[in-house]
Amino acid sequence: MFASAIETDIAPSWTLLGLLQRGRGDGWLHALAADRAEAVAALERCVLHDPRPDWRLEHRSLYYARLYAELGVPLDGIAAHLAHPEDARRTDEERTGLALSVLGHLTSYGNREALALLRAYAVRGSNWRWALDELAVRDDDVGLRALGPEILARFPQTEEGEAALTAAVRDSFERRPWQLWADDPQRPRQRARLARALEAGAFDRWRRQLRPSGPQPAWSVRAVLDWAQEGWERTPRQWRVSAAARCLGAVAGLEDRPELRATAAQGPPAARATALRHLAERGDPEAFALIAAAATDADRDVARAAVTAFSRMSGPAALAQARHWARRPDDLGVCAAALLASRGEPKDAPTVLAALRSTVHSRGPNARELRPLVDGAGRFALSGAVPVLRRVYRETASSELRGHAAAALARTDPGFSHGLAVECLWDCEEDTRELAARHAATGDHRVVERLRRLASDPAEQAGVQTVVRGRLAGHAGS
């Protein structure tokens, strides 16, 4: 889930750029105190070169938009980025998605220039669907209706063009613009064309439901295993293990266990992974030995599948095995420690703490294996984990993992409410701001002022505002 700081070009955590890239509250506060030119340059670098390890899981857009508004940053840099010739060559969402989301939030704050940029990019940009989704929840009916003819001009009135239009309407995230255009009384030809596209899209969805792809429960165990392996052998490779394992749950019986055990021991990679997962999920008595053998296999797909299979096990036997394997230095050992962190007993706390320290030391603060160990430190309220949790909080490039570290510190660090909780009020992640709103000590004047701003900010999430208003009511009554 996480990329390394080198892979994502993340600056050190003590620099202004590094703080802003991570979405830390201190980044926001340092930017306001820094030289304006330096702050603007760092902010634009973040927005135009998305620093998130996983943009599907992490949030930065509101964080950056608020800072654009606070600093009064002009939108020339974003405009040039959207209009760059590279936009025609790189059509991936990662290049422009963050910038478009920032414009969306600025539009919510009443920035007319941001609205104009979104409208223009929806007409000419390669990532126009993202821009249209931002407009769908922020633009008025008049503005959206005016875009209709220009958006539809993207689709030539040919067989291929109509098919592409149908797909665009069917797969749209926000339906409002398409429905407005389909109901526009001033454009009868546009209405007729979109009516056909809407009807064809509805038929496509119905047909997909009637004819699902993939294995069906009537298949044999061998057919399911072969289907999983066939996908692995394709170019590009298709990893069908999860789907195939679910199908085995419907078609495999006790009489199939010998075949499944043999495949889990010696089968080709994807079939082996599927059999391993099925046996693990059903607590087969031979699953532990099969997983241990696969975890040391030279094929990385098989080794990773063994770890995944063990991670899906539960119950007393799995916990007992995890206590034994947690001493291993490999991925299976980390997985075992993670299982103890999430499902273990108080006696497992020292093992979890040792695994957390070891993983941070050997794999760094961005390791994807850290999240369950961090959560486990909070679950067991491990005061001895505070120094390593603080390191993860400060250094990780993942705002999601930082949020988990903050939650663990709230349960382990006596100084959290007067320290990091204050910074977290400016964090990029909603859950982290909500945590801070619950814990930050109101003796600091900055805390009360920030709570008031969050309470009145129309872009803030409802869950955060509910907690904030509760804290403010309590503060007023004290």
376 phi and psi, to 5 degrees? -65, -35
Q: What is the pLDDT of residue 466?
A: 94
Distance CA 367, CA 370 (A): 6
Q: What is the pLDDT of residue 205?
A: 62
Determine the angle formed by the axes of helices 370-379 and 386-395, rounding to 10 degrees: 140
Quickly state the pLDDT bin for 163 (edges 50, 70, 90).
Answer: confident
Q: What is the pLDDT of residue 125?
A: 93
**Tokens coding 393:** 């909080």
Mean pLDDT for the stretch of residues 233-251: 90
Quickly state the pLDDT bin for 4 (edges 50, 70, 90).
Answer: very low
Distance CA 454, CA 425 (A): 9
Quickly state the pLDDT bin for 1 (edges 50, 70, 90).
Answer: very low
Residue 233 Cα distances to 137, 245, 268, 281, angstroms: 43, 18, 10, 25
Q: What is the pLDDT of residue 2?
A: 38
In this predicted structure, which of 197-201, 202-206, 392-396 has the lowest mean pLDDT? 202-206
Quickly state the pLDDT bin for 196 (edges 50, 70, 90).
Answer: confident
Quickly state the pLDDT bin for 173 (edges 50, 70, 90).
Answer: confident
- For residues 390 and 409, the answer to whether their CB atoms sit within 8 Å is yes
Distance CA 42, CA 35 (A): 11
Mean pLDDT for the stretch of residues 78-91: 92
Mean pLDDT for the stretch of residues 151-159: 91
CA 64 distance to own-chain centroid: 18
Quickly state the pLDDT bin for 54 (edges 50, 70, 90).
Answer: confident
For all residues of the chain together, what is the average pLDDT?
A: 91
Distance CA 459, CA 439 (A): 22
Mean pLDDT for the stretch of residues 247-255: 90
Mean pLDDT for the stretch of residues 285-298: 95
In this predicted structure, which of 115-124, 218-227, 376-385 has the lowest mean pLDDT? 218-227
Q: What is the pLDDT of residue 14?
A: 94
Instruction: Please tell me which residue, 41 or 183, carries the higher pLDDT value.
Output: 41
What end-to-end distance do the CA atoms of the chain give, in Å? 44
HSE toward the beta carbon, residue 398, CA cutoff 13 A: 23
pLDDT in tens, 338-396: 999 999 999 999 999 999 999 999 999 999 999 999 999 999 999 999 999 999 999 99
Distance CA 31, CA 62 (A): 15
Quickly state the pLDDT bin for 206 (edges 50, 70, 90).
Answer: low
- Proportion of the chain above pLDDT 70, given as a percent: 94
Quickly state the pLDDT bin for 7 (edges 50, 70, 90).
Answer: very low
CB count, 10 Å around CB of 283?
A: 13
3-state secondary structure the chain: CCCCCCCCCCCCCCCHHHHHHHCCHHHHHHHHHCCHHHHHHHHHHHHHCCCCCCCCCCCCHHHHHHHHHHHCCCCHHHHHHHHCCHHHHCCCHHHHHHHHHHHHHHHHCCCHHHHHHHHHHHHHCCCHHHHHHHHHCCCCHHHHHHHHHHHHCCCCCCHHHHHHHHHHHHCCCCCHHHHHHHCCCCCHHHHHHHHHHHHHHHHHHHHHHHCCCCCCCCCCHHHHHHHHHHHHCCCCCCCCHHHHHHHHHHHCCHHHHHHHHHHHHHCCHHHHHHHHHHHHHCCCCCHHHHHHHHHCCCCHHHHHHHHHHHHCCCCHHHHHHHHHHCCCCCHHHHHHHHHHHHHCCHHHHHHHHHHHHHHHHHHCCCCCCHHHHHHHHHHCCCHHHHHHHHHHHHHCCCHHHHHHHHHHHHHHCCCCCCCHHHHHCCCCCHHHHHHHHHHCCCCCHHHHHHHHHHHHCCCCCHHHHHHHHHHHHHHHHC
Quickly state the pLDDT bin for 293 (edges 50, 70, 90).
Answer: very high
Q: What is the pLDDT of residue 441?
A: 92
Torsion of CA 370, 374, 380, 384, to 10 degrees: 100
Mean pLDDT for the stretch of residues 28-36: 94
pLDDT in tens, 131-140: 999 999 999 9
Q: Is the pLDDT of residue 3 over 50?
A: no
- For residues 340 and 319, the answer to whether their CB atoms sit within 8 Å is yes
**Tokens coding 434:** 């909500």
Q: Is the pLDDT of residue 409 over 90?
A: yes
